[in-house]
Structures are given as C-alpha cells and as structure tokens.
Chains A and B, each alone.
Chain A
Amino acid sequence: MIFYRPNNLKNLFELLENSNATNYFLAGGTDINLQTKNIPKNVNIFYISHLNVLRNITEINGHISIGSTATFSDILHSDYLAKHLPFFQNSLKFFASPIIQNLATIGGNIVNGSPTNDVSPLLLILDAKLELISKNNSRIIPFNSFYRGYKEFDLQKNELVKAILIPKNAENNLETFYQKVGARNSLTISKITVAGLKFIENNRIKKIKIAVGSVNEYPRRLVNLENYLITKRINEIKKDELTKIIAVEITPISDFRSDQNYRFVVCLNLIEKFLGINF
C-alpha cells in the first residue's frame, strides 16, 4: 500500500496517471476502515479530504453544488441547503449517527454504490446531476444515469466525482416525502427507502417523482409508475394497477435484514402513503 496526499487536483491526477496499482480514494474513511480485510495489499490510496475544492457547498448557475467530500454534517449545517433545499437537508438528519455524520461524505455514499444508500433516492427525485472530473476532462451527467447495475457506475478509470448539483428550486412548491425504514431509529441500514415529490392541482396529479432504495440492485426512479400516475386524479388510482406496476419496477430480495415480501408490501404502503390514498 502506498499513501498519497496530493497537494491539489492537478497533482492528484498526475499521481493517478502514474499509478499502476488499484486506486482508492480516501475521504471520510468510514467505509475503507471497515474493509481492511478486502483491500488487496497492492493498492494506492489517494487522500482527498483536505482538498477544499472538493468539499465546498456553493451556489452555481441556479444549482446548489455540494462537493463530493462534504460530510453529512456539512450538509446538515449548510445555510444554503437550509434556505433552498430544506427537505433534502432534513431527510438526512438521521443518517447513520452523529459520530459517523461528521466523517462520512456524500460522494462516498454515492460511489460506495450500496443499493441501500440513503442519499440516492433523494438525488433522483431532485433531478440532481454529477460533476465528474478527470485529468483532461470534466463532464456533467444526470444522476439518474450514474448507476448501471449492482455497484456499477458511469465512472471512468481515474475519474472522480467532484460535486453533486441540485437545482436550487427542485423542491419549490412541491409536496415532499421521504421515509427510510430500518431496524432501529439510529445507526440503521435502510430496508426500504421511498422518496417522492408531487404537485396536485384540483385533485389531479400535475407533477410526480418517486424513487426507491434497497429494493433494486441500485436506487432508481419508478418511471413507469410516474407515467401511470401523471395527470390522474387521486381517486382514479386503482390498487391492482398500482401493485402491478410496482411489481415490475422493484425486485426486492430477502437477506439477513429483511424479507422480499415484506419489502414489497411496505414499499407499496409507503408509496400509497405518499400519494395520500387509502384503499
């Protein structure tokens, strides 16, 4: 293992280019320190937490840009977020626990790529984008296209998530919903997470976004469900149709923490709760 502490981004990419081992980025360390067993001996570790350019929370072109190494406590204490994206901020209040919030970073949560990660369902419904950088390139992609499979991402070799961009007005005038179901109220891993945004006018759904976590190989928007719901009146929604669509869009599994059937039914229940329907 060789440890690198780059002086700046330019230096980081130079070092990365010359590295011929497996590369790990170290930010908060809350994952890497749990995986010491699985980390091969021949790895290069690049420390990035000290690079402020990766950590800032700022306002750019109508977006709030959250640096990838911003910790969850940075997010919870950000005035920008409190002002523009209070729903996003409040939803993360019970992430892990305070002593982990002070270390763990939003970028780490995203690129760990766990299907259970807390932040992705929120980013999906808020139309977030990712700013990715590499030595000679910088690109912005919709967060929606980042995950491609279980722990598979749209991320090139030696490419880094620089920031998460959320439209400043993403929550404006919308009804919001976020519920994470875990085994306990703190220090818990999600069994099901449902996040939603909606706008209802004259009892008709004018705008709807729903994303779920822990019930697919990666968190995703339920696009077919959204298409079904849009322009419908609440009382036109049929239980069997809703169930049928969700049954195609989510593929929960049984594991030590929960069961397939439970996950399915509770996911359905929470979506109904979000829609405000009582069959």
Chain B
Amino acid sequence: MKKAVKKFDARPKLNGSWKFLDDYSYENMIFGQLFYSTCHHGIIKNIIFPKNFDLNEFTIISAKNILGKNIVPEPVCDQPFMAEKEVMHFGQIILGIAHSDKKTLRDFVENIKVKYEKLSAIIDPKECLDNERNHFGKEILINHSNNEKNTGNYHKNIYYTQHQEQAYLEPQGAIAIYDETKKTMFVRVTAQCPFFVKSGVETIMGNAINEAIIETSEGIGGAFGGKEDFPNLLAGITSLLAYKSGKPVKIVLTRNDDIQITTKRHPSRIEIETWTNPLTQKIEKCNIDYRLDAGAFQTLSPVVMARGVLHVGGSYAIPNIKIRGRLFKSNTPSNGAFRGFGVPQALAAMEAHIDQIAIDLKIDPYLFRKVNLFKIGDEFPTTQKITENNLIDCLERVIKNSNYLSKKKEFAEWNKDNSNKKGIGISVGFHGGGFTGNGEKVLKSELKIIIEKNANVKIFVANTDMGQGAHTTLSQMFYETINHPKEKCRVQLPNTSKTPNSGPTVASRTIYIIGNLLQKLAREIQKKLNFENLESYVATHQNEFPREFRKVYIPDKSIVFDENNYVGMAYKDYSWAACVNEIYFHADTYKLEIIKSWNVFDIGKVVNQKIAEGQAEGGILQALAYANSEFFYKKKFGRVRNFTDYTLPTTLDVPEIDVEFIHTDNKIAKGLGEIPMDFPAPAVRNAFLNATGIFVDEYPLTPENIFNIIRSKNEN
C-alpha cells in the first residue's frame, strides 16, 4: 500500500505556530464586542449605558450608523445586520461596541440595560412546527405520483429532531482594517466562504468603500457549516466599527456568546404516511410533509429545505411519492448551515419509518431494505434515473462487516434473560454532490494556478481548509495528475483580491467540483505544453514563466433541473453509505450506550485514505451524538448557554468506529464532507427499537427522554 500523503499543516498546528483568528494582532488594534437582545421578541424602548464610563473612549454603532444596506446578503435577504426598533429573537444584535481594553469593554457591555416592550414569542421548536400558522416563505412540492388510490397496509408517523450546535472549537471572529487612502476594507476572518463575507462587508459599507478584501486566517478552527453565513454578519459589523473608530478592530466571540447567538441545525417535523403491499413487501406510495424551523428569518433556510426534500424520500424505489417542504418561523436566531444540510433530519424520519414498516410487516429491516432499495433503472422522486447498485453493495458489505444477522439472533436470546438489553440497527443514506440542480451553473466557479520560474505551483481557490484537509487533498490531486513533486505544489491562503471565485466551501463540493476541475486543468496544461516532466519543462522554457492558468467549471450539459417543478437531475453524482450500530441499554439508568458503529461508503475514488477516514469518523461521531446525547433546548428551561450543558462526546464516550470505502476504482472523487453526518444517526434509534421493542420518534435518545417514553407507554 502506498504511504499516505501527510497534511502540510499538521506539524505547525501541533507546535502552536499555525495562526488562528485570535492569534493575529495589528498595530493600534482595538477590541469589539456585540451587544445583543436578551428579549425573544419585543420593541426596544430605550438603551441605558452604564455610568462610570467615559463614553468618548468607546466606538458604538447601531443600525442607524450603517452606510450601505441593513440587510445581510443571503438566498433570502430578510435579516438585518442590527435590529432597528423591533427585536425578533434572543441574540439579535443591537449594537457593535469597541474599546482599546478588553476588560473595560466587557464590563461596559455587560452593564448596558435595554427596556423592551415584550411581544409574544415562540421559542419551542415543536410549538413552532406543529402550528400551520407559523409557516412562511415559499413551499416546495414534488409530485411523482400517478396513482391517487390508497391501497395496501397503511403506516404513518410524525418524527421530530432538535437543534444541533456545530461546536467548532474555535469561536467565530473577525478583524477589520480600513485603509483610508485606498478606501478599502481588509477583513481577516475565520470563515468557510470568503466571497460571501466580501458581499456582506460591501453591503453594510455601501459606497463608503471601493472594495472589501477578505482573507481567512491560516487556521480555521472547525466550521461544519457554522461559519458559512454568520461570518458575513460579524465581519460587516466589525468593518463598520473599524471605519468609525479609524483603527483595526478585532471581535472574537466568547463561547457563551457564540453558542447563544449563532446559527444551528434546523429542528424538524416530518410526517410520513406510507402504503405497502404486504405480499410483495414493497412500498407502493408515500406522502411526506417536511417542515423546518427556520428561526426568525429565512436567510439560507430555503436552500436547506431544498436539499432536505430531495433526500427525504430516502434510498427507496417508491412508484408514487409526494413531498411537500415548508419553513416555519420562530423567535430564535436563524438556523443555518450544518454538515448534512437538511438531510440528517430527512433520514432521521425516513430511516426510522422504514424500520417501523418492517416491524408492521413482520420482516427484518435488513430484508425490507433489500427489497425496496434503489436499483439500476429506479427513479428518484424527481424522475432522475438510478444508474448504479452501489448502495445495495454498501448495505451488503456493512451487514457482513458487522455480523448483523448472527448478532441479531444472539441478542434476541440474551435479552430474554436480562433486564439490560442489547440491540443492533441499520440505516442507509445518500448525499448529492455539489450544489443542487442548477446551482453550479449559476456559480461558474473559477480557479487559477501560477507556475513559477522554479516550477513551484501556486493554486488559488476560494475554498477554505477548515480542518477537512481540503488544501492537502486539492494539492495532491494536482501534483499526482502530472507527477510533480509534492513540496512544489501548495494551495494559497484564500484572499478575495487574489483568488478567483471558486465558490463557497459547502455542499461537499470542494473535492468533487473543485478538485476534479483542478485535475482537468492539470491534464490540459500537460497537453498544451506537451511535457513529460513539468520541472524540466520549466527549466528549459524559463522565459515562459511565471505563467498563469485559469479554468471555469462548466457543468455537464446533460444535467437539467426544473426548479419550479422539482423535476430532473438534482445532482449528477451521489455518494452512498450504510451503517450498522450496536447498542447496550442500561435498564437502571435508562442510558443507551453505543458499543460500535460499522460504516461502509461509496464516495468514488478516495484521494487520501487517512484524510477520508478521519473525515468519516468525525462526521459519524457527530451523527451518533445527534441521535443519542446532544440537545440544545429543553421545554421550560430554554436554550443552552455554554459547553457545560451542551455535552459533546469525550474520549470516554466515543464508541469504536469502523469505516470502509468500496467502489474506489471510480475515476471521480465524489462528495464526502456531509454524508457521514447524514446516515448513522437513525441506526442508533433502530438499534434501540431492536433492543427494547420501543419505537422512538424523536432525537435525542437521552436517558430522560427514554424514561419518559417508557413511562407514558406503561401508563397507557
């Protein structure tokens, strides 16, 4: 086996020399802080600043000071940078404040008092999602049905999921520096999408600046979607403070502020009704109502919903299917991007539903899946044809790896004599690579490389490395294609004035779209210059270098998607995966312990085995915790405020995780970023069902939730 290509940034990250946002300082830099609403919904009556402070020492901005528009650029532009009169949620920003001393600033901000006229507010996700009146925005309808009759066995259930916190370890932060002579705003930021930030800063600054130049920090300390759109807002306010104070301003959120005011995964309510044929054991018909709690503003939620409805039909050939997707409004911070992007919710419902049907039909969930899983020639709800049987291969492989069939028998025997229970459960899933439908067409991603006189290759992409190893893998995809030395090839730190817009770092698209594009460019350059060895070519053609090459991504013409009717090819390539989880249920404490998780993926070609495994393992643990332990909100007790109560899994909570990639002989490297978060969670619930016979329609399966379910079951 060939030796793994190592990450170029691992050693400096370990010895502490790699710079994250808070590690940057500039001359005369002062510090900023956000002052936000602690009222869920209300009218601001007045703001009282604390006494004993010299107000002249502070730079204070509110919506009134905005030079451009008070609207954060998003797919739906409905969220202001700062509240004007009315606050729509706890955590909505009211003021930006800067001072040269951090402690003075904190004392000042903590003692600002606001009087609100309180208005009615919804913060409970279920209360929000159960009430049709809270629906807002456009709805999506997918109708792939030519049979209006309802025949066969009927199965129906409603499934709920909660918020999930991204919990990137590095909190959000930005530093803005205004250049008065050039009228430019330089912003260094920890963010996934530098060009989104650029548009945010240019919107809030309006004509006051000619250009915003965005560069990320060297290290981006995790993101998982959480640094997709919030940085736009943060960088905008930081920029305005820098402009007004005339000094560089740095804002780094405390963990407690970060957790309380930034975007989370959308809570969901998904209702599924299904008709099956008991003889063939096939699903005949399915209606799905997919709802997301968007928070106070829509922002990018329609895009999350679009991906959600395109995956909520699950991995099953269903001849008649109707899907309806809607957003619901609550008085909580806007929910946003989080690895999986609407799909973890979709599969939480569908994969639980499949197990429920299997039990109704008295058939093993594995065999029921085998009968109904996508096969070549089947269709997605959008009519797109299935062209490979790789999902079934993933399922068969994971069944074998986990010893599912014999374990299932063994556990059933064991459970007879024990109050503690053992269980094993399955789930499967898929994730479309890149933007949905025509998204990549609109984006026209472009990348650039420069080959220098010493044959060093500089790669310029806007896609960030937030820990997923993208810059190592991208560089590897280039130099392996033309056999160039590894150390002569480096992805540059994204900077919007130097880097073409190759699009945001989202949607599992960095390797799948940009990496494959980079490989194409490498082959084109080789063909054009006609070299065997780039180094010797450069050495003998010195006058041609440095030389720049660019390439724009043009999607396959065969991809046609009708965005009005949701018909056509939503995605060109799909990654597939299957999971088996083994659990142990402690009857005395109601604790569900995950013993081991087996996972098999088809992500096409695996560029870097160890990096891919690491990505998968990390995503799987996030998924397991989503099902089992992480919760953000509790009725009567509100939302989480810190890491003490948002209990991330520790080294003593993580089960053994087994990962295998199959069908790796593919030429294409498909998406991997999100799928590990999508599919393993439902197998926790399904394993619990197998262990106890108790069906749970809601995440997470905390001991308290399990206790309450068992108790209400006993009462009935």
Classify A-B as touching or not with yes or no (CB < 8 A).
yes
A: residues with CB less than 8 A from B are 37, 94, 97, 181, 183-189, 254-259, 261-262, 265-266, 269-270, 272-273, 278
Closest residue of A by beta carbon distance from B652: A185
Collect the chain B residues with CB atoms within 8 Å of residue A259's CB.
704, 707-708
Is B130 an interface residue, CB under 8 A from the partner? Answer: no
Collect the chain B residues with CB atoms within 8 Å of residue A278's CB.
419
With beta carbons under 8 angstroms apart, the residue of A184, A185, A256, A266 that contacts B590 is: A266
Closest residue of A by beta carbon distance from B649: A184
Which of B587, B651, B652, B711 has the most chain A CB within a 10 Å cutoff?
B652
Collect the chain B residues with CB atoms within 8 Å of residue A257's CB.
645
Once the chains are docked, how many angstroms separate the CA of A186 from the CA of B629?
A: 13
Is B653 an interface residue, CB under 8 A from the partner? Answer: yes
Interface of chain B, helix or strand or loop or mixed?
A: loop
Contact A184 B653 (CB under 8 A): yes
Chain B 638-659 residues near chain A, CB threshold 8 A: 638, 640, 644-645, 647, 649-653
Chain B 649-681 residues near chain A, CB threshold 8 A: 649-653
Contact A255 B637 (CB under 8 A): yes
CB distance from B529 to the nearest CB of A (A): 55
CB distance from A91 to the nearest CB of B (A): 16
Contact A256 B634 (CB under 8 A): yes
Collect the chain A residues with CB atoms within 8 Å of residue B708's CB.
259, 261-262
Contact B707 A186 (CB under 8 A): no
Closest residue of A by beta carbon distance from B639: A256
Is B536 an interface residue, CB under 8 A from the partner? Answer: no
Is B588 an interface residue, CB under 8 A from the partner? Answer: yes
Once the chains are docked, how many angstroms separate the CA of A184 from the CA of B702?
A: 10
Is B703 an interface residue, CB under 8 A from the partner? Answer: yes
Contact B652 A186 (CB under 8 A): yes
Contact B590 A186 (CB under 8 A): no
Collect the chain B residues with CB atoms within 8 Å of residue A254's CB.
636-637
Contact B589 A188 (CB under 8 A): no
Question: Closest 9 A-B residue pairs measured CB to CB?
Answer: A185-B652, A269-B588, A186-B650, A256-B637, A183-B647, A186-B652, A262-B707, A262-B704, A184-B653
Closest residue of B by beta carbon distance from A266: B589
Contact A181 B650 (CB under 8 A): no
Contact B629 A183 (CB under 8 A): yes
With beta carbons under 8 angstroms apart, the residue of A184, A187, A273 that contacts B629 is: A184
Is B110 an interface residue, CB under 8 A from the partner? Answer: yes
Once the chains are docked, how many angstroms separate the CA of A257 from the CA of B634?
A: 9
CB distance from A254 to the nearest CB of B (A): 7
Once the chains are docked, how many angstroms separate the CA of A266 from the CA of B591?
A: 11
In the complex, besides A37-B110, A183-B702, A273-B588, 20 extra interface pairs with C-beta distance below 8 angstroms are A97-B650, A183-B647, A184-B650, A184-B652, A184-B653, A185-B652, A255-B637, A256-B640, A258-B704, A259-B704, A259-B707, A261-B707, A262-B707, A265-B707, A266-B588, A266-B590, A269-B587, A269-B588, A269-B589, A278-B419
Collect the chain A residues with CB atoms within 8 Å of residue B704's CB.
258-259, 262
Collect the chain A residues with CB atoms within 8 Å of residue B110's CB.
37
Once the chains are docked, how many angstroms separate the CA of A48 from the CA of B640?
A: 34
Closest residue of B by beta carbon distance from A270: B588
Q: Are A187 and B650 CB-contacts (below 8 A) given A256-B645, A266-B588?
A: yes
CB distance from B576 to the nearest CB of A (A): 32
Chain B 586-616 residues near chain A, CB threshold 8 A: 587-591
Contact B588 A186 (CB under 8 A): no
Q: Are A185 and B653 CB-contacts (below 8 A) given A254-B636, A258-B704?
A: yes
Number of A-B contacts (CB under 8 A): 61
User: Using an 8 Å CB-CB cutoff, how does the interface string of B102-144 with A read, 1 for contact, 0 for none?
Assistant: 0000000010000000000000000000000000000000000
Contact A189 B644 (CB under 8 A): yes
Contact B634 A184 (CB under 8 A): no
**Chain B: how many interface residues by the 8 Å CB criterion?**
27
Collect the chain B residues with CB atoms within 8 Å of residue A262's CB.
590, 703-704, 707-708
Contact A186 B653 (CB under 8 A): yes
Once the chains are docked, how many angstroms separate the CA of A104 from the CA of B707?
A: 33
CB distance from A168 to the nearest CB of B (A): 32
Once the chains are docked, how many angstroms separate the CA of A188 from the CA of B590?
A: 17
Collect the chain A residues with CB atoms within 8 Å of residue B653's CB.
184-186
CB distance from B704 to the nearest CB of A (A): 5
Once the chains are docked, how many angstroms separate the CA of A125 from the CA of B29?
A: 57
Q: Are A184 and B647 CB-contacts (below 8 A) given A262-B590, A266-B589, A269-B589?
A: yes
Once the chains are docked, how many angstroms separate the CA of A257 from the CA of B642?
A: 13
Closest residue of B by beta carbon distance from A41: B107
Which of A37, A254, A257, A262 has the most chain B CB within a 10 Å cutoff?
A262
Once the chains are docked, how many angstroms separate the CA of A37 from the CA of B629?
A: 29
Collect the chain A residues with CB atoms within 8 Å of residue B636's CB.
254
Closest residue of A by beta carbon distance from B650: A186
Closest residue of A by beta carbon distance from B707: A262
Once the chains are docked, how many angstroms separate the CA of A183 from the CA of B110?
A: 31
Closest residue of B by beta carbon distance from A36: B106
A-B contacts, 23 listed (Cβ < 8 Å): A181-B589, A181-B591, A183-B629, A183-B702, A184-B647, A184-B649, A184-B650, A184-B653, A187-B650, A188-B647, A189-B644, A256-B638, A256-B640, A259-B708, A261-B707, A261-B708, A262-B590, A262-B707, A266-B588, A269-B587, A269-B589, A270-B589, A278-B419
Closest residue of A by beta carbon distance from B593: A185
CB distance from B710 to the nearest CB of A (A): 10
Once the chains are docked, how many angstroms separate the CA of A94 from the CA of B590?
A: 20
Chain B 685-716 residues near chain A, CB threshold 8 A: 702-704, 707-708, 711
CB distance from B656 to the nearest CB of A (A): 15
CB distance from A192 to the nearest CB of B (A): 8
Collect the chain B residues with CB atoms within 8 Å of residue A97's CB.
650
Which of A189, A256, A261, A266 has the most chain B CB within a 10 Å cutoff?
A256
Once the chains are docked, how many angstroms separate the CA of A259 from the CA of B708?
A: 9
User: Using an 8 Å CB-CB cutoff, how does the interface string of B10-47 with A read, 1 for contact, 0 for none?
Assistant: 00000000000000000000000000000000000000
CB distance from B637 to the nearest CB of A (A): 4
Collect the chain A residues with CB atoms within 8 Å of residue B711's CB.
261
Once the chains are docked, how many angstroms separate the CA of A55 from the CA of B349?
A: 55
CB distance from A37 to the nearest CB of B (A): 7
Collect the chain B residues with CB atoms within 8 Å of residue A181's CB.
589, 591, 703
Collect the chain A residues with CB atoms within 8 Å of residue B638's CB.
256
Chain B 245-302 residues near chain A, CB threshold 8 A: none
CB distance from B106 to the nearest CB of A (A): 9
Collect the chain B residues with CB atoms within 8 Å of residue A266's CB.
588-590, 703, 707
Collect the chain A residues with CB atoms within 8 Å of residue B645's CB.
256-257
Closest residue of A by beta carbon distance from B703: A262
Collect the chain A residues with CB atoms within 8 Å of residue B651's CB.
186
Once the chains are docked, how many angstroms separate the CA of A97 from the CA of B647?
A: 14
Closest residue of A by beta carbon distance from B645: A256
Q: Are A185 and B634 CB-contacts (below 8 A) given A256-B645, A261-B707, A265-B707?
A: no
CB distance from A269 to the nearest CB of B (A): 4
Which of A183, A186, A272 has the most chain B CB within a 10 Å cutoff?
A183
Closest residue of B by beta carbon distance from A97: B650
CB distance from A21 to the nearest CB of B (A): 19
Once the chains are docked, how many angstroms separate the CA of A97 from the CA of B636?
A: 30
Once the chains are docked, how many angstroms separate the CA of A187 from the CA of B645?
A: 10
Once the chains are docked, how many angstroms separate the CA of A215 from the CA of B132?
A: 40
Closest residue of B by beta carbon distance from A255: B637
Collect the chain B residues with CB atoms within 8 Å of residue A189's CB.
644
CB distance from A190 to the nearest CB of B (A): 12
Once the chains are docked, how many angstroms separate the CA of A261 from the CA of B640?
A: 22
Which of B587, B647, B702 has the most chain A CB within a 10 Å cutoff?
B647
Q: Are A185 and B650 CB-contacts (below 8 A) given A255-B637, A265-B707?
A: yes
CB distance from B38 to the nearest CB of A (A): 14
Once the chains are docked, how many angstroms separate the CA of A188 from the CA of B702?
A: 14
Once the chains are docked, how many angstroms separate the CA of A183 from the CA of B703?
A: 8
CB distance from A109 to the nearest CB of B (A): 16
Collect the chain B residues with CB atoms within 8 Å of residue A265's CB.
707
Collect the chain A residues with CB atoms within 8 Å of residue B587's CB.
269
